A and B are shown apart, each in its own frame.
Chain A
Amino acid sequence: AQTVTQSQPEMSVQEAETVTLSCTYDTSESNYYLFWYKQPPSRQMILVIRQEAYKQQNATENRFSVNFQKAAKSFSLKISDSQLGDTAMYFCAFMRIYGQNFVFGPGTRLSVLP
């Protein structure tokens, strides 16, 4: 069975600064997907970024980028130029290539301070 760990229950960052959220996972699979989802106070789950395990290049979406270390089973999210709208709960998620369900981490609550 796969497990996902997010060791930082809460973090805060000043507006315009950079913050990194950590995620580690445990799996015996060699091919899988990893995701970061954002859930702001409005409670809408929003996909931030995805990474395919077979791709060595780290995924990037505007101010969001990941540091994917397959051997270490680590998948951290970097948010650059933090904005107030980035305040949210962030969930790391794992899915097998031919899987049908996600395994979510416990989440990290990020607060961006003015």
Chain B
Amino acid sequence: DTEVTQTPKHLVMGMTNKKSLKCEQHMGHRAMYWYKQKAKKPPELMFVYSYEKLSINESVPSRFSPECPNSSLLNLHLHALQPEDSALYLCASSQMGLAGGLYEQFFGPGTRLTVL
């Protein structure tokens, strides 16, 4: 059983819609991540939050807007998406070590997003 949960499991949205993906972790981790994964490809990092502050943004388009309300929750707000944004969106969390380094990541089950 995963200790990282994501909702919804599936989402279909039009290009003019606004929607949000939600992620919650129950392991006391202080770092959380959003990844985008296309079929048969490895996950691509979008955002990293450590101690609820955005620490890495891999040049993701502004139509994706992350939010970290607290150390257990991570949201991804979606607006004016394109059909090529259709993918599996994975959330992950990890512990943080001394000097800010991170340990192995634990992934949620993902949200399958389809943009029409």
Contacts and interface: CB of A to CB of B under 8 A. Distances in A.
Given A100-B48, A100-B55, A101-B56, A45 B102 contact: no
Interface residues of A, number: 25
Chain A CB count within 10 A is highest, among B42, B48, B55, for B42
A84 interface: no
Interface residues of B, number: 30
B23 interface: no
Interface in A49-107: 50, 89, 91, 95-102, 104-107
B101 A97 contact: yes
A113 interface: no
The 3 A-B residue pairs with the shortest CB-CB distance, nearest first, are A104-B42, A45-B107, A98-B101
Interface of A: 33, 35, 37, 42-47, 50, 89, 91, 95-102, 104-107, 109
